[in-house]
Structure formats: C-alpha cells, structure tokens
Amino acid sequence: MNEQFADDLSRRPTVSGAATNRKDHHTDEQLSSIRQKQLSRVLYWRFFVNLALMLIDAAMFIIAGVMVISLYHRQPMPLYAERFNFYFNLSAYLVLGAAVFAFCLRRAGVYHRHVMGDGHRLNSLLLSGTFQCWLVLCAVSFILDLSIFFSTLSIIMAVTGVLVAISRMVVRKIIIRSREKGSYAYGTVIVGSPNGIARTLKFLARRQQLNYRPVAVCPIRLNQESGLVEPDCNLDVVNKTVSSTWGSQLPIVEYDEHTLADRMIDMNAQTVMVSDVLRRFSDNFNAFSLRMEALGLEIALVTSAADVSGHEIQVRSIQGTTVMTIRLAQFSPARKAMKRLFDIVVSAFAIVLSSPFMLGVAIAIKLDDHGPVLYQQERIGRYGKPFKIYKFRSMRVNADKMDAEVAAAAGQELGARFKLKNDPRVTKVGHFIRKTSLDELPQFFNSFLGTMSVVGPRPQRQYEVDEYNQVYATRLLVKPGITGPWQVSGRSDLSEEESQQLDVSYVQNWSVLGDIGYIFRTVGVMLNPKGAY
C-alpha cells in the first residue's frame, strides 16, 4: 500500500469493517515490510531533529563561553591543568564542555519527543540538565586542578541556560507549527467509548505540545454478559461527538481483535491511544496491547491524574507469585526534609527582598480605607488540618461574611469554583495587588513557619474541601503553597477539571527542581497576569 493511499484513507470518514476495510489481506512478510518502512521514516526524522537540537544546544554553550571569557578579562588563558602539567586552549575546553552539556541535557530527558514542544516541562528539564553539567565541569576542574575560576564557570553556565532557553522558544514555535501541518507527529488511532473518544480529542486539541495527530477513531464497548470487548455500532453518536470536539470528521475503524492492528498500519498510524473501556491490568487490555505491540504500534493511555505512573515500580517473584511494589520517592524523609529546607531558605530570602514592597502595599491599603492592613482567614492545610493564612487585605472589611450573598447575586453556587471577575467587595488598591499577586506576599511568613510551602496546591476553605472527590482529595497530602500549578497555568480561567488535574499531578510529581521552575513561572505571571481577579 503506498503512502498516498494511506493519506487518502486517513482523510475519508468511512466505517471500516473486518471484512470490508481491506480488499486484500497482507501476508506477515508484507505487513512486516510496511511497518519497517513506516518506523524507518519516524526514526529518520526523530534522529535528525534530535541531532539538530543537540548541535544548537552545544553551539549555545560555545557562544556563552566565548562571550564570558572575552568580557571577563581576569580569567587567564590558556587554561592550565596543574595536576597533570598540560595546557587546555579555549577551543578544546569549549568543545569538550559543549559535548558534556549536550550529554547532560539528554540524560535529563530534554530530547524526548513529548518534551520538544512542551515549554514548561522543557524549561524544568533544561534547568536540571544545566545544573548537572555545571556539577560535572566543576568535578573535572577539581580533578585536573584546572585554572578556570569558579565564577567564570558559573557565569558560563548561567549565560548558557539563558541562551538555550531563548533558542528553544524559537524552536518550539517551529515544531508546533510543523505539527499543525502533520509533521513531527505520530498518526494516532483513539480507541474507547464515544464519550472517552470525545474527552481524548478535547485533550489533544488543548495540548499542542504533544505529538499525537488523530487519524481515526475506534469506538468500543464492554459486553457485560461475556466480559469481552466488542465494537460500538452507534455511529451517529460517534460522528456527532467527534465533530463537536475535534471540529471535523475522522474515519471510524470498526473494532476486530484479529485485523485491527493490520488496518491501523494501513492507515499509517504509529500510536494507539486508549481512552477508556480497556482497563489497565485487565485481561482485555493485556491481550489488546500485545496484539498492537507485536506489530510495533505504540500504546498510549489516558489515565487518572492519580495514576501510579510517577511511582518507582519494583517487580519481584516470591515463591512463584509476582508481587509489584510502588513508591513515590519524593515522600521519603530525606526528600521532605530537603523541601522544608528549601521553603525556609526561599521564604527568608523573599521576606527580606520584598520588605520594601510590603511596606508600600501596607501604606496604600491604610490610606485607601483606613482599615486593617493584614487579613487572616482559616484555610485547610496538609492532612485536612486548619491553619491561619495571612494576606494583604484586598476587600472591604468583613467581606468574607458576604460570600453567600454575593454568590447568590451573581447566580453562582458557593463552592470550590466560586470566583467573580468583578467582585464588588474588592477595593481600588485590592484590584492592583490581586492582579500583581502582591496580596500573597505575607504568606512567605506562613511558609517560613511551616504551615505552608512556597510551592504547592493553593489552600482552600472548609466548604470547598467538603466538595472534593476521592482523587482531588489527594491534594491534601502535601502542604498548600503560595504558588503552584493552578497559579501559573491560567488561574481562575481554568475549568474545574483542569484545575484538579494540575493539583493532583503536582502531588504525584513534585520535586525541588520542579518547584524552582514554578517560582520562575510565577515571576512571569506577575509580570503578565492572566486569569487573576
């Protein structure tokens, strides 16, 4: 089957059956040959894209090194390795350093195909890779007793990080535009119920950084009597849900366990994305995934935000029985102590640095309506324990006692998502300090004292916590934060589902380096506020 036919098939919204979808049946040799050609094309573009990215990153290191050493006249040249009595010229050192830098970025996961277009995750991994490179180069300098100043090396790495971040912003725009045209993306068939398919298409439409390009859908359902998977033939519902969520029709592939993988390969698909029905660890899913993977098709799962994907998994065989143990490394005593130390240091630094701003805000509030400067309110912290949160007052005095009245006037229910764009209780000064997040500055005292963390899910009130479902309640397993995923990802403009996924994902995946990334993103939000009211 040629490539043009596959493209035509992927654009044609027809129903494909086990007997009618293909006029002829491929032999195993023909199918293997087709699949090898498809994989070769994918590996070809992945290799050259990654090679180009590595060369760009290495070039940024060399440019940063030349800039710093040219401007930093105190650094002696050439470099001398006193322990082994030989000289290092600048070119050799920068080329070696560039190779180490590219290797460290690769080890950090920067060149993974799902990371290339993801700005937030990419920046966090770039920071991790840059820090690793700095450690390696410091170790090399120590072992060789190299005559490069510590300050010189540190400035080179800092400038490199900035240059790489800028270059990646440009590359990311190019990659996203290319993916919109179908390049650098995996042809994907979505398998699941009509509702599950709709949720997945909506998710992919919002996540431009992912390299999944839907080429077809395969509606299925579970036969309650037999417990087996069968095709869902309610095609009108499928067509309507696809059109409403994706904006255009997609081909419908009829489920058949024996020929489905063959037909997906005929459509030039690379990935099978399972939305629901096929439950993880079930016999149905295990058999399905084996058929797909036997022909080189990738399986992708849309799972709960509280899935065990972030856990360290260990499989052991004990007297003929297989036991799988899982753990989240970040909840070890050492990691929690590290986060607490991070909170103390960052909070103390922030309190000192922001003191002039806090003084200015306090004076402005006092002059505005002569009321109290600080506002304290009971919020729910880790493990559901209440604590007092401190903020600069942005509303009229006793405004919280009017919540139910204001919500009723606005036609909203008082709950976890209650938020007004034009709340009449907000003062003139309050509008400004809310927009710039200056009202949150006193919470650094909460973080310093240990009732909050610098980064984490935002603390909420008891009536909001009472509405949590089983999954969302896991956000109470970590300390609430001054800033966090919700704060830097759209704030009040996010849907309830998006807010919950961000918070629960943070509980699963937090790290100190990730927290540093959230802090930098918070600074960006303060300079360009969106969704704050």
Q: Is the dihedral of CA 480, 485, 488, 494 positive or negative?
A: negative
- 258: domain CATH number is 3.40.50.620
Q: Are 160 and 189 in a shared domain?
A: no
* Cβ atoms of residues 387 and 460 within 8 Å: no
pLDDT surpasses 70 at 28: no
434's tokens: 């809310």
State whether 194 and 174 are in the same domain: no
Same domain, 468 and 375: yes
Per the domain annotation, does 252 fall within a domain? yes
Asked whether residue 320 is domain-assigned, the answer is no
Indicate if the pLDDT at residue 295 is higher than 60.
yes
Give yes or no: residues 370 and 506 share one domain: yes
Do residues 503 and 475 make contact, with C-beta atoms less than 8 angstroms apart? yes
Q: Kindly state whether residues 167 and 232 are assigned to the same domain.
A: no
What's the CA gap between 305 and 491, in Å, rounded?
19
Q: Both 172 and 207 in a single domain?
A: no
Q: Are residues 398 and 492 in the same domain?
A: yes
Q: Are residues 338 and 467 in the same domain?
A: yes
Identify the domain containing residue 457 by its residue range: 333-527
Q: Are residues 96 and 131 in the same domain?
A: yes
CA distance 295 to 32: 7
Asked if residue 315 is part of any domain, the answer here is no
189 pairs with which residues across the strands? 216, 272
pLDDT digits (tens, 9 = 90+) for 103-115: 999 888 888 766 6
Whether residues 261 and 390 fall in one domain: no
Residues 191 and 171 in one domain: no
Element (H, E) at 19: none
pLDDT at position 395 is: 83
Going by pLDDT thresholds of 50, 70 and 90, the confidence category of residue 490 is low
450 is a domain residue: yes
Q: Is the pLDDT of residue 125 over 70?
A: yes
Query: Predicted confidence band at 139 (pLDDT cuts at 50, 70, 90)?
Result: very high
Say whether pLDDT at 307 is over 80.
Answer: no
| CA separation for the pair 434, 431 (Å, rounded) | 5
Q: Quick one: angle between helices 512-527 and 119-144, nearest 10?
A: 120
The mean of the pLDDT values for the chain is 78
Rounded CA separation 215/58 (Å): 36
Report the number of distinct structural domains present in the chain.
Answer: 3
Residues 104 and 229 in one domain: no
CA–CA separation, 26 and 37 (whole Å): 15
